[in-house]
Amino acid sequence: MFFILITGLLLGGTYALIAMGLNLQYGVSRIMNLANGEMLVAGGFAAFWVYTAGQVSPIAALLVVAPVAFVVNWLIYRIMLRPLVKRAKSRGALEVDSILATFGLSFAMVGIMSWLFGGGYFNYSYLAQRVDIFGSSYGQNRVVAFAIASLIAAGLWLWLSYTRAGLRMRAVAVSPDSARLVGIDVPAVSALAFGLGGAVTATGGALISMFFTLDASVGVLFTMKALIIVIMGGVGDIRGTIVAALILGIAETFVARVIDPGLTLAAAYVLFLGVLLFRPQGLFGKKPT
Amino acid sequence: MSTREIRNLILSALAFGVVALLPFYDTGYILSIATTMAMFTVLATSWALFSGPTHYISLATAAFFGLGTFVTGYGFQTMPYWSLPLIAAVLGAGLAGLVGMVTLRLSGVYFVIFTLGLAELVRQLVTWVQNRTGQRGMYVLTSITESHIYWQLLGLAALVFLVGWLIGRSRLGFALRIIGNDETVAKHSGINTALAKVLLFMVSGAAAAAVGAMLAPRYIYIEPSTAFASILSFQVVIMALLGGTGRLWGPLAGVIPFTLLWEFISRHAPNQTLLLLGLAFLLIVYVLPGGMVGLQARLKRRFGQGGH
């Protein structure tokens, strides 16, 4: 039982990072990015590639993966998504447009990645020793991934809470129209948030690839999980996202260990159903008036 | 009924009659493509019945379809064959009703996300049950030929068009158009918006499940990973949007070119089908926002009434 709890927490920590990326993109830039999981897989591919080709540790690779992902996502927002934001008559219309556009992006990315890397699974062995915590042993790579994910998540949270740039971002998340009135450059902040979200997600992907077998088409599963976490935690709510990610990590590990490893999505759906039925505003959200 | 409507009805019936003669001309490659087209016509048209007016993007088609194939897979030895699509339709409507009741009270995003994983969820559950009972895939060996499947699908397509036409004329169709324009207005004018959406989603779920039941003999061997392949849901969305959801015939205008293109790409560059799917989505969003229907309307406006 204790083992499941810790394994779940370790997994949930990485989920939290991925979901924070999605939450920045949806909460601040108002783009429901369904290509999020593919960005994650691309980050994982990059880590895999530098590790097997150049024997560079995946952790050092983050120093390259994160900035590249930031620039790519920033460009995606400026070139592809900004025109959609401009032409949208309502938030609903923007949602439909951005869902379809990012679906297109996600399929194009899966197509390109399976063309580049083939359709097979890929993994590598890094830090595969065991480490003992409270009498049970865990993969060292999982523990390291969790630690880095927590560090980045904490840094992001501090940045959002205590800096002026973070404040601007939160202001846009609450109300883009009012943010514009107090002199915030909403398009610039939105592009920044989208780029940052993509960088965070790709980082999460590089971390996950240390202990998880990925393939070109697995992205949509991570998109699903990140979406469920964001909805469960509440859009724009960092604290809720972290709690929801840990809950999902534990629930998944529990189902995989006790019932059947093939039912992890079912576990996520049970949580999703509970949220939809009882707390559609998120775990810590207030009821809309 | 106006004379124009009667004329359209007669023309559609004639068109169906002509198309139904195809198996007498060819029972090989052409028929197999036509069967695929008939299948996507039903799927895309019934998808558009719900998603067109409400703007809720449903990705649940593969879940309903897979459900239908499994109904045939389990039932074809013990039940009369004609009853299988009916049973599938009832189950599909039931599943759609459940999903709709949970998600359709909320905004569209929840619905998209829930349906995005639905096929995969059902696949995991079916696989789990099969593993526990020690069963793998199953063979559907029947005397049903491609021609039979084709005729069944045509019949179902006619039914879906008829239902769509009737809904468009009914109070339900009117209510849905108001919901699509402004849900708050719809609520304030006394429309039970959640009920209207759930009802229509059930119609579309029933049709997709019936298609699955009809097509099962074509696959011969059924297993969860092929029956619930989620790519089907995306193909349907693309075809419907490419054609345009504003008119009943809209999805058909997307099904025909896209099926041909898909067939061509999967023959000559089978690894690039996903890239094609992605580019098609981008094309719809950036170049053809209203699909072929929207394009026709724009051309009409530009060239006056003559450009039909």
Tallying the residues shown for chain B, one arrives at 308
Gap from B118 CA to chain A (nearest CA, Å): 9
Q: For residue A31, give the chain B residue with the closest CA.
A: B109
| Residues of A with Cβ-Cβ distance to B110 under 8 angstroms | 231, 276, 280
B155 contact partners, CB below 8 Å, separation of at least 6: none
B186-201 pLDDT, tens digit each: 888 888 888 888 999 9
B203 contact partners, CB below 8 Å, separation of at least 6: B46, B49, B50, B93, B163, B167
A206-225 pLDDT, tens digit each: 888 888 888 888 888 899 89
Structure tokens at B296: 């026709």
- Higher pLDDT among residues B203 and A181, named by residue: B203
Whether A281 has a pLDDT exceeding 80, the answer reads: no
CA distance A69 to B91: 45
Whether B91 has a pLDDT exceeding 90, the answer reads: yes
CB atoms under 10 Å from CB of A18, counted, come to 32
| Residues of B with Cβ-Cβ distance to A108 under 8 angstroms | 274-275, 278-279, 282
Per DSSP, what are the bridge partners of residue A122?
A214
Range A129-140 average pLDDT: 70
Q: For residue A30, give the chain B residue with the closest CA.
A: B109
Range A236-262 average pLDDT: 87
CA distance B1 to B135: 54
B267-308 pLDDT, tens digit each: 888 778 888 888 888 888 888 887 788 888 888 887 765 444
Whether A169 has a pLDDT exceeding 70, the answer reads: yes
CA distance B260 to A12: 44
Per DSSP, what are the bridge partners of residue A77?
none
Burial code (b: 16+ CB inside 10 Å, e: under 16) for A36-63 equals bbbbbbbbbbbbbbbbeeeeeebbebbe
**DSSP 3-state percent helix, strand, coil across chain A (nearest 5):** 75, 5, 20
The predicted structure's pLDDT at residue B307: 43
Which residue type, as a one-letter code, is found at position A251? A
Whether B167 has a pLDDT exceeding 70, the answer reads: yes
Cα A142 to the chain's mean position, in Å? 17
CA distance B116 to B63: 10
- A107/B116 CB distance under 8 A: no
- B274/A95 CB distance under 8 A: no
- B106/A34 CB distance under 8 A: no
Highest mean pLDDT among A152-161, B200-209, B229-238: B200-209
What are the angstrom distances between the C-alpha of A100 and each of A127, B32, B122?
A: 39, 30, 24
Range A48-60 average pLDDT: 82
Q: What is the mean pLDDT of chain A?
A: 85
pLDDT band at B212 (very low <50, low <70, confident <90, very high): very high
What are the angstrom distances between the C-alpha of B247 and each of A72, B13, B45, B194, B301?
A: 39, 18, 10, 23, 17
Q: For residue B56, give the chain A residue with the closest CA.
A: A96
Q: What is the mean pLDDT of chain B?
A: 86
The predicted structure's pLDDT at residue B95: 93
CA distance B163 to B168: 8
Lowest mean per-residue pLDDT among A72-86, B129-143, B247-261, B264-278? B129-143
B10-50 pLDDT, tens digit each: 888 888 888 888 888 877 888 888 999 999 999 999 999 98
| Residues of B with Cβ-Cβ distance to A114 under 8 angstroms | 271, 274
DSSP code for A214: B
Out of B57, B106, B275, closest to residue A96 by CB: B57
Tallying the residues shown for chain A, one arrives at 289
- Higher pLDDT among residues A204 and A118, named by residue: A204
Out of B121, B271, B282, closest to residue A265 by CB: B121
Residues of B with CB under 8 A from a CB of A: 55, 57, 102-103, 106-110, 112-114, 116-117, 120-121, 124-125, 127-128, 131, 230, 234, 241, 271-282, 284-286
What are the angstrom distances between the C-alpha of B261 and each of A45, B45, B266, B267?
A: 31, 19, 9, 10
| Residues of B with Cβ-Cβ distance to A109 under 8 angstroms | 278
A99 neighbors A32 (Cβ within 8 angstroms): yes
CATH 2.60.220 fits A2-278, yes or no: no
Tell me whether residue A128 is exposed, middle or buried, using C-beta atoms within 10 angstroms of its C-beta: 0 to 12, 13 to 18, 19 or more. Answer: exposed
| Alpha-carbon torsion, ordered B86, B92, B97, B102, to 10 deg | 170
Which ranges in chain B belong to alpha helices (H)? 3-20, 22-25, 29-54, 61-75, 83-103, 108-132, 146-169, 171-181, 183-188, 193-219, 224-227, 231-243, 250-268, 273-286, 291-302
Name which of A170, A145, A174 is nearest A159 in CA terms: A170
Q: For residue A222, give the chain B residue with the closest CA.
A: B117
- B274/A265 CB distance under 8 A: no
Range A279-283 average pLDDT: 77
A8-22 pLDDT, tens digit each: 888 888 899 899 999
Sorted by where each begins, the domain ranges of chain B are: 14-229
Per DSSP, what are the bridge partners of residue B222?
B138
Out of B120, B131, B275, closest to residue A112 by CB: B275
Out of A100, A221, A269, closest to residue B281 by CB: A100
Highest mean pLDDT among A2-6, A46-50, A194-198: A194-198
The predicted structure's pLDDT at residue B308: 44
B25 contact partners, CB below 8 Å, separation of at least 6: none
Structure tokens at A153: 């998540």
Whether A139 has a pLDDT exceeding 60, the answer reads: yes
B58-83 pLDDT, tens digit each: 999 999 999 999 998 888 888 888 88
The predicted structure's pLDDT at residue A127: 67
Per DSSP, what are the bridge partners of residue A138?
A131
- B114/A276 CB distance under 8 A: yes
A18 neighbors A177 (Cβ within 8 angstroms): no
Query: Can you tell me which residue has the tokens 């398009």?
Result: A187
The predicted structure's pLDDT at residue A135: 66
The predicted structure's pLDDT at residue B267: 86
- B275/A273 CB distance under 8 A: no
* HSE-up (13 A, CA, CB side) for residue B258: 35
CA distance A37 to B248: 35
Sorted by where each begins, the domain ranges of chain A are: 2-278
Whether B130 has a pLDDT exceeding 50, the answer reads: yes
The predicted structure's pLDDT at residue A134: 67
| Residues of A with Cβ-Cβ distance to B241 under 8 angstroms | 100
pLDDT band at B1 (very low <50, low <70, confident <90, very high): low
B257-268 pLDDT, tens digit each: 889 988 888 888
CA distance A259 to A254: 8
Structure tokens at B272: 């690039």
- A96/B108 CB distance under 8 A: yes
Residues of A with CB under 8 A from a CB of B: 32, 34, 83-84, 92, 95-97, 99-101, 103-112, 114-115, 119, 217, 220-221, 223-224, 227-228, 231, 260, 262-266, 268-269, 272-273, 276-277, 280
pLDDT band at A161 (very low <50, low <70, confident <90, very high): confident
